[in-house]
Structure 1
Amino acid sequence: MRRPLALRLLATGATMAVAATIGVNALAVPEAQAATGTATGFASQNGGTTGGAGGATVRATTGTQIHEALCGRASASTPITIEVVGTITPANTAKVSGSCNTAAGVIELKQISNVTIVGVGSGAVFNEIGIHIREARNIIIQNVTVKNVKKSGSPTSNGGDAIGMETDVRNVWVDHVTLEASGGESEGFDGLFDMKDNTQYVTLSYSILRNSGRGGLVGSSESDRSNGFITYHNNKYENIDSRAPLLRGGVAHMYNNHYYSLNESGINSRAGAKARVDNNYFEDSKDVLGTFYTSEAGTWQVNGNIFDNVTWSSRSGDNNPAGPNPVSTTTVSIPYSFRLDAASCVPDIVRQTAGANTGLRVSNGSCTPTTPSPTTSPTTTPTPSPTSGTPTPTPTTPPATGTNLSLGAGADGSSKGSGTSYGAVIDGSTSTYWSPNGSTGRVSVKWDAATTVSRVVVKQASGGGSITAWRVVNNDTGAVLASGSGSPSTITFGATSLTKVNLEITGASGTPRIAELETYAG
């Protein structure tokens, strides 16, 4: 691979009827966990995006139950919030018949409206299964992870798109999600966030897109210019080859995003597209803005961006980067209000807020994370479906003991080899890694506040050199917490309060590869 790449139904019989009709585990929710906050960006326009607000709230643990919830409504537009817990896969996602259009092996939101899908409890993961939105409107997807969706190989789902929208789609808000692949087209993957054939008024916010050949597109071809009014804000694009995003026609607004390791190109405005690019932070990337791979140019308005270690190729033929000194080529009027963080703090605020399972935190517009108030009330306890037998207890979030503290933290180091990233050691994926520029070096995990750590787990990727000597150091004081020879795995030491811990590789037979540097309190 490359580098190597969301109110309740009041306490009436209606709630019980919904549960009985759809036959899912409609469970009591311990707290108000449905969609939080209000749609931002272009999703706030055209009447706004409210998803399932005002409808029943049910819980699903399989893809089939999601389909049952959609098909069990009084109509295709009856509002519903589906809270998802656990892992959704092609194997637990079947087609459901009735007054709905579903398909096996894909979460199908087709010819419907007024739906929220939100991850709750210990999290929701859609593994190898994509979310397909077609001929639909007023949809919210929040706090879920979608990963490893393929268009070739096995299993295939959603044409290889993690989230794909097409054919007369309106008002979609995708918020606090993590979308990831583990390779490019040659490995069977396509786009992470695609919009085609008359899709409008969409916002992608506080999300992570990573390890993919293609971040996403707006418009399937140079002639598909019916899409637009798309907002991307406070997202992190990491280890993406291209399409961050690719725009064909229409208007898009990108602000306060952190683009890190865009390997070939970034925002590709073409075929008459207009991109407004405000206060973003571009880092360790190539050709982050311009018109690429076509002679049909797009335009952009740039304000307040930071370009940190960005390389620009020469203009030639179909390759027309905006840099090295990007200037505006159009003016884009934005109809909604928005709060801009200074570009200099974007990497830090995005690190604290973006992605699933980050507490749905947002920026207050002054570089400080906050938690928005829920837009819903606590759900009532509906009667279990007659088909479910003994009532199923409500799932609870497991205690924090054993939590990998590196997830949601920051990372840096002494050097990084070509095609590798410090962030790879804290992304929860063993398919990405960091290597030093040579056989020795340091990689670190860091926090905004003092954190107690007593165990470090080192996971190495295959193909690297063997580590022969190492040590773990409290960066705050310089104290050596542990040291040793040979390949490190689980390293324990006395509980230490610190803001940054270092793994220092002091000897290796070649260039080592560290896939994950996990940290634990006990």
Structure 2
Amino acid sequence: MKRSVALRLYAMLAFMAVAIATGVVLSMPEASAATGSASGYATQNGGTTGGAGGQTVRATTGTAIHAALCGRASASTPIIIEVEGTINHGNTSKVSGESCNTADGVIELKQISNVTLVGVGSGAVFDQLGIHIREASNIIIQNVTVRNVKKSGSPTSNGGDAIGMESDVRNVWVDHVTLEASGGESEGFDGLFDMKNNTQYVTLSYSILRNSGRGGLVGSSESDVSNGYITFHHNLYENIDSRAPLLRGGIAHIYNNHYAGLNESGINSRAGARARVDNNYFEDSKDVLGTFYTDAAGYWQVNGNIFDNVTWSSPGEDNNPAGPNPQSNTSVSIPYSYTLDAASCVPSVVRQTAGANTGMRESDGNCTPQTPDPTEPDPDPTEPDPDPTDPTGTNLSIGAGSDGSSKADGTSYGNVRDGNMNTYWSPTGSTGAISIKWSSATTVSRINIREASGATGNIGSWRVVNAGTGAVLASGSGAGVITFPSTSLAKITFEITSSAGTPRVAEFETYAG
């Protein structure tokens, strides 16, 4: 037996042993498990297809992800890794092999190519564990949550970055992910989405970045200007102090994003960076565009943005805000095709499409979210089809207001109308009320109360009340779809009168029919 053949056979046998131990499930080769196709700059430089055409495996631990990478015939053999469950330090170990270069305590995509990492089933959560992409190309990461990754304290992972790319990275598409922290650098966290040291042709789309001191950067210092050709579109940046993103050198296309609660600064273009900023919606924020904390100027082209309750600081030696009346100071040509949603509908579209576990919906460019093309492969064909009794049409809660009788620590009234099943409202006790409200009378005949994961069955008895008149529209028990005679009202209340556990309402959907 030739030595090369023997080595490959040995590697395969080793992989099979690790697979059995770590829970890797193999399936036959198939088309890409990623839904849709790459957009933005990730379509350039040959395009981004991830593991399309390769073998599909299922992984429920970080070690299993590493084992799948190490079990390939080569570091460039296409592979689709479907991830389900919680990935953490306790189940993420280094695996060795000729086709991989992994490490403990981090998902290491190093010196590899042609990989898709996609969350399926009940969801994939990388808890306090970052994803590190280094010397790699043609990578897709889709439909996962990465949370609370720290660079100091315990445990630490990936230098504190949720997703970090560095050292000659090319063609990465990150789509429908949720990246979140629980504070800033003083609490041990760093960036949510960082690119440095010659990273190019990257797209971040339909994703949520929130509750962090730093959204992300392109370039680690004023001299690290080899990065660029980055697209950010249809993302929600929420409760971020700065770096949304920070750009050092290179070109970025930033369109149809919703920025809510940028506390110190937003798009920080510096060190010669050039940003095209199209049809974004900025609200309740400060210094959302400009060059900040440096005298190394950056540049921007602005088109069609909305600035809603945005404040601007005064110019200074190291501070050059673009506002209060942002004007273009450069011109950026975009080489790919794209369709812009009107900025006025961006908050609604982004809330219905962005983040993990939101149905992989995308906008059609006319302010209307669309479900994935049915001709695309199902990321998890074992999942049941949607309940045919679920309401159809426009969820009127998206873009409406909300309030309630009380809210438990860490929950929010707004969480019931953000289109995100990972956030929720709870009352301070075992009962309480949550309401959806509009600025004018709205016709409603059906609501859908969705409980958060882990709280199914907690809601006991309830009443649905027309808050304007006090009339009881319906009563019963348990969450789900509730119908009643078509009613014109400005505020509707779901009142929980008993419970089997702490109620957690993830979504309070309202429909006309």
| Letter paired with 1:171 | N
Q: Is the 8 A contact 1:18 1:73 kept in 2?
A: no
Q: Is the 8 A contact 1:61 1:84 kept in 2?
A: yes
Residue number in structure 2 paired with 1:90 = 89
Superposition deviation, residue 97 in structure 1: 1.1
Residue number in structure 1 paired with 2:261 = 261
* Distance in 1 of aligned mates of 2:113 and 2:451: 46
Residue number in structure 1 paired with 2:401 = 412
* Distance in 2 of aligned mates of 1:348 and 1:430: 17
Q: Is the 8 A contact 1:285 1:309 kept in 2?
A: yes
1:180 aligns with 2:175: no
Residue number in structure 1 paired with 2:80 = 81
* TM-score where L is the length of structure 2: 0.78
Residue number in structure 1 paired with 2:154 = 154
* Distance in 1 of aligned mates of 2:128 and 2:176: 19
Tell me the alpha carbon deviations over residues 437-461 of structure 1, each in whole angstroms, 9 at most, x when there is no partner: xxxx98638999864346989xxxx
Superposition deviation, residue 414 in structure 1: 6.9
1:286-297 matched pairs, under 5 angstroms: 286-297=286-297
* Unaligned ranges ≥5, structure 2: 1-11, 405-409, 453-462, 496-502
1:346 aligns with 2:354: no
* Distance in 1 of aligned mates of 2:285 and 2:250: 25
1:60 aligns with 2:49: no
* Distance in 1 of aligned mates of 2:375 and 2:271: 39
Shift in CA distance, 448/344, structure 1 to aligned 2, threshold 3 Å: farther
- Secondary structure of 1:103's counterpart equals coil
- Secondary structure of 1:68's counterpart equals helix
* Unaligned ranges ≥5, structure 1: 1-15, 381-393, 436-440, 458-470, 484-489, 506-514
Superposition deviation, residue 187 in structure 1: 1.0
Tell me the alpha carbon deviations over residues 410-445 of structure 1, each in whole angstroms, 9 at most, x when there is no partner: 552479xxx99764565667899999xxxxx98638
- Secondary structure of 2:102's counterpart equals strand
- Secondary structure of 1:102's counterpart equals coil
Superposition deviation, residue 482 in structure 1: 10
Structure with larger RCO (C-alpha < 8 A, sep 6+): 1
* Distance in 1 of aligned mates of 2:481 and 2:54: 51
* TM-score where L is the length of structure 1: 0.77
1:41 aligns with 2:40: yes
Residue number in structure 2 paired with 1:7 = none
| Letter paired with 2:134 | R
* Distance in 2 of aligned mates of 1:448 and 1:289: 39
Q: Select the residue among 436, 447, 471 that pairs with 1:444.
A: 436
Superposition deviation, residue 372 in structure 1: 3.2
1:1-12 matched pairs, under 5 angstroms: none
Q: Is the 8 A contact 1:151 1:160 kept in 2?
A: yes
Q: Is the 8 A contact 2:171 2:201 kept in 1?
A: yes
| Letter paired with 1:452 | I
Shift in CA distance, 35/274, structure 1 to aligned 2, threshold 3 Å: same
Superposition RMSD in Å: 4.3
1:10-409 matched pairs, under 5 angstroms: 20=16, 23=19, 24-27=23-26, 34-99=33-98, 100-373=100-373, 377=377, 396=383
Q: Is the 8 A contact 1:411 1:422 kept in 2?
A: no
1:487-506 matched pairs, under 5 angstroms: 495-496=482-483
Tell me the alpha carbon deviations over residues 151-173 of structure 1, each in whole angstroms, 9 at most, x when there is no partner: 11111111110000000000000
* Distance in 1 of aligned mates of 2:207 and 2:141: 11
Percent identity (aligned): 70
| Letter paired with 2:42 | A
Q: Is the 8 A contact 1:33 1:374 kept in 2?
A: no
Residue number in structure 2 paired with 1:466 = none
- Secondary structure of 2:25's counterpart equals coil
* Distance in 2 of aligned mates of 1:331 and 1:283: 25
| Letter paired with 2:177 | V
* Aligned pairs, number: 461
Superposition deviation, residue 34 in structure 1: 1.1
Superposition deviation, residue 474 in structure 1: 3.9
